[in-house]
């Protein structure tokens, strides 16, 4: 939308959303056309999903052209020009990041054209992927949506692996292409009355290859998880080394403790763990020995009683861990959670330069 300091909200006359979905990411292009303004200052406002990477922004307002880097801010305090209290009130309960670009004076004869391109991760949940387009056409803005020309086009690079037809929050048409990809379009003439969400599911027999794609101003790098869990999960010995020095105090140590506790509670049946802290001295739950997951809750309670103090030196402990005998059929995993200086870092890194394929 375009908000003006004169109190008007300019809804777009034309909206075209295009998305190209590849693996766990999508490239989105938004093309908008707006009517003229009221001669007052104006700003373009667009709600964008979290974790978005804006690649391009272009705007034409009469004979003026805008192009360049844009940034996102939280909804509150987002508009940069004067007399914007009405905008803040409208967006006060918005929980999304807001992209804002000041456009200067918008006259009645000035039609605005905006092109926005960004990349976004596609949300995986419960075996499905969810592609979401935020729609900022809330009725409280007084927008008449009946005359808006609204189009949505989505290309799913699925390679014929769709397990079921995609479904959406609004009526759609799905067309299978010759290369087995799928083309999804919004049907009907009505404008979405809420966020447009497309849900689809892929069935993959083999793990896709890691890929990287570039387009000048951005790149997409995809690493795909295994398609299924092995019959016999790897048996693991996990060592958690937590910095309990003066570098890690207060809220920071509390947050780390909560994170480690959550991991301990989620270990698998074949896992064993060792919980060690480094500060004024090296200490550990029950001496730092390996324990079965049944001991996890007691280890969590022990960690909650730890009080950071002193200075940390990780190297002696790391040397002891690296000399542990290899247990056949078990993988050794070491996790170091630290804040600030933990000893001689170059020496620590040097100590890791050997074959650890069995660890």
Residue 132 shares a structural domain with residue 245? no
Final residue belonging to a domain, choices 200, 221, 247: 200
Residue 185 shares a structural domain with residue 77? yes
Report the alpha-carbon distance of residue 98 to residue 324 in Å, rounded: 52
Residue 145 shares a structural domain with residue 282? no
Report the alpha-carbon distance of residue 327 to residue 309 in Å, rounded: 34
Q: Which residue has the higher pLDDT, 290 or 180?
A: 290
Residue 156 shares a structural domain with residue 286? no
Q: Which residues, including other chains, have CB under 8 Å from residue 255's CB and lie 6 or more apart?
A: none
Residue 20 shares a structural domain with residue 160? yes
Residue 37 within any structural domain of the chain: yes
DSSP states along 291-303 = EEGGGHHHHHHHH
Residue 38 shares a structural domain with residue 178? yes
Residue 117 within any structural domain of the chain: yes
From the list 4, 10, 18, 60, the residue with the least C-alpha distance to 150 is 18
Report the alpha-carbon distance of residue 1 to residue 266 in Å, rounded: 45
Residue 162 shares a structural domain with residue 271? no
Report the alpha-carbon distance of residue 141 to residue 87 in Å, rounded: 10
**pLDDT tens per residue, range 33-86:** 888 777 777 778 777 766 777 778 888 877 777 766 555 554 444 444 333 444
Residue 126 shares a structural domain with residue 264? no
Domain count, the chain: 2
Tracing tokens 């892929």 back to the chain, one arrives at 202
> Sorting pLDDT into bands at 50, 70 and 90, what band is 222?
low
Least confident of 93-97, 176-180, 343-347: 93-97
Residue 214 within any structural domain of the chain: no
Residue 109 within any structural domain of the chain: yes
Report the alpha-carbon distance of residue 195 to residue 45 in Å, rounded: 16
- Mean pLDDT score of the chain: 75
Residue 38 within any structural domain of the chain: yes
Q: Which residue has the higher pLDDT, 348 or 131?
A: 131
Residue 212 within any structural domain of the chain: no
Note the pTM of the prediction, 2 decimals.
Answer: 0.52
Domain limits for position 329: 235-351
From the list 131, 129, 135, 154, the residue with the least C-alpha distance to 195 is 135
Across residues 198-226, what is the average pLDDT?
Answer: 62
Between the two ends of the chain, the Cα-to-Cα distance in Å is 55
Residue 317 shares a structural domain with residue 261? yes
Residue 131 shares a structural domain with residue 181? yes
Sign of the torsion formed by the C-alpha atoms of 162, 164, 168 and 174: positive
Residue 44 shares a structural domain with residue 170? yes
CATH code, domain with 342: 3.40.50.410
CATH code, domain with 190: 2.60.40.1730
Final residue belonging to a domain, choices 153, 182, 200: 200
Q: Which residues, including other chains, have CB under 8 Å from residue 301's CB and lie 6 or more apart?
A: none
Final residue belonging to a domain, choices 153, 185, 200: 200
Residue 213 within any structural domain of the chain: no
**pLDDT tens per residue, range 145-186:** 666 787 889 998 876 677 778 888 888 888 888 877 888 888
Residue 304 within any structural domain of the chain: yes
Pick the most confident of 69-78, 98-107, 160-169, 251-260.
251-260
Residue 151 shares a structural domain with residue 281? no
């Amino acid at each position: 939308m375009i908000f003006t300091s004169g109190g008007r909200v300019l809804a777009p006359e034309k909206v075209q959303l295009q998305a190209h979905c590849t693996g766990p990411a999508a490239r989105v292009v938004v093309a908008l056309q707006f009517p003229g303004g009221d001669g007052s200052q104006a700003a373009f406002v667009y709600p964008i999903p979290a974790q978005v990477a804006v690649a391009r922004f272009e705007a034409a307002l009469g004979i003026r052209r805008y192009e360049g880097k844009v940034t996102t801010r939280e909804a509150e305090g987002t508009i940069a020009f004067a007399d914007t209290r009405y905008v803040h009130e409208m967006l006060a309960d918005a929980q999304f990041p807001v992209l804002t670009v000041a456009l200067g004076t918008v006259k009645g004869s000035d039609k605005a054209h905006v092109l926005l391109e960004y990349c976004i991760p596609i949300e995986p949940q419960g075996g499905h992927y969810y592609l979401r387009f935020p729609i900022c056409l809330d009725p409280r803005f007084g927008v008449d949506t009946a005359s808006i020309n609204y189009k949505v086009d989505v290309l799913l690079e699925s390679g014929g692996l769709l397990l079921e037809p995609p479904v959406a929050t609004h009526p759609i048409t799905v067309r299978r292409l010759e290369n087995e990809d799928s083309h999804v379009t919004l049907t009907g003439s009505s404008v979405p009355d809420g966020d447009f969400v497309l849900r689809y599911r892929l069935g993959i027999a083999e793990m896709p290859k890691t890929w990287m794609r570039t387009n000048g101003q951005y790149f997409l790098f995809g690493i795909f998880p295994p398609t299924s869990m092995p019959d016999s999960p790897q048996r693991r010995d996990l060592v958690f080394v937590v910095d309990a020095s003066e570098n890690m105090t207060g809220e920071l140590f509390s947050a780390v403790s909560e994170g480690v506790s959550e991991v301990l509670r989620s270990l698998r049946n074949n896992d064993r763990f060792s919980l060690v802290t480094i500060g004024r001295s090296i200490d550990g739950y029950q001496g730092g020995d390996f324990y079965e997951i049944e001991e996890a809750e007691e280890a969590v309670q022990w960690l909650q009683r730890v009080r950071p103090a002193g200075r940390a030196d990780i190297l002696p402990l790391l040397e002891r861990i690296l000399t542990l005998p290899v247990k056949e059929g078990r993988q050794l995993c070491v996790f170091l959670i630290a804040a600030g200086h933990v000893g001689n870092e170059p020496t620590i890194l040097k100590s890791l330069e050997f074959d650890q394929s069995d660890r």
